[in-house]
Amino acid sequence: MSGGAFSSASVSAATAAVPASSPAPPSPSRRRFLSPIHLQSLATVTILAITGMVPTSDLAFAILSIPYTYFLAAIPFPSLTSGPVPSVFGDRNPILAKYVFAAAIIGIFLPIAYILEGIFNGDRESVNSAAPHLFLLSFQVFMEGVTFWRGFSIPVRAFIPLAFNSRRLFSIADWLRSELGKEGLGFRLIAGKVLAMVNLALWSFNLFGFLLPVYLPKALKSSRSGCSVSLRNIACQNEQFN
């Protein structure tokens, strides 16, 4: 999803429940700790990794994304302000929240149910085919939480969904290829094919219909606006000092 989309949706729901007379809630762009949803995603990643359901290539991709994200945040795209980085789409966006909720059901909860049923039924092939997508998406949610928690700049936050969504399309294509290679008309066989097809359609649209043409330009525009404000503030401070 969009940079911090899963985290943004949960934070927006929380801030909407805060009365107007209450103190302002912490910014969704910077938290003291990771939220429960990000910790749950980390737990899912850990379980899938230690049970041997994830290919070495996907494990390497996920692990290497951590130092590379910090490299981007330290050198090419450092945050120019010590304050909170605003959300690209604002803190309260009901349309985006519904989109994120639907994507979470299709991309996380249904694959979890499919994998659990496969484990109980001894369908190791289906489990191994569906697990890489769930692993990468859960790791994406975790990393989005890290970028918000650390207050990284918007370009760094945009890198996470773009990189992981692109990578996951290959995993979903492999999953679908595996499902289409099975013969039969049982409920699980049909459910596996439909779930893989729907995920491929959803995340292809998310990358080519939302992230690249909508989210990325808006993120870059927000980043340029933030840089301009930060540079003006620095100039004003220098003038006052002089």
- Per-residue pLDDT tens over the stretch 67-80: 999 999 999 999 87
Q: Does residue 151 or residue 131 have the better pLDDT?
A: 131
Q: Is the pTM of this model over 0.75?
A: yes
Query: What is the C-alpha to C-alpha distance for residues 96 and 20, in angstroms, rounded to an integer?
Result: 23
Within a domain: 236: yes
- Percent of the chain past pLDDT 70, that is, above it, reads 75
Within a domain: 24: no
**Residue among 71, 93, 99 at smallest CA distance from 209:** 99
Show the CA angle centred on residue 52, arms to residues 156 and 101, nearest 5°.
45
The pLDDT of residue 168 is above 60: yes
Q: What is the mean pLDDT of residues 39-51?
A: 94
Within a domain: 184: yes
Within a domain: 150: yes
Within a domain: 123: yes
pLDDT given for residue 104 in this prediction: 94
pLDDT given for residue 224 in this prediction: 73
Within a domain: 21: no
* Burial (0-12, 13-18, 19+ Cβ within 10 Å), 22: exposed
Number of domains in the chain: 1
Within a domain: 67: yes
pLDDT given for residue 82 in this prediction: 61
Q: Which domain holds residue 207?
A: 5-14+33-241
Within a domain: 20: no
Do the beta carbons of residue 196 and residue 130 sit within 8 Å? yes
- Percent of the chain past pLDDT 90, that is, above it, reads 62
pLDDT given for residue 18 in this prediction: 28
Q: How far apart are the first and last CA of the chain?
A: 46
Do the beta carbons of residue 128 and residue 53 sit within 8 Å? yes
Average per-residue pLDDT in the chain?
A: 81
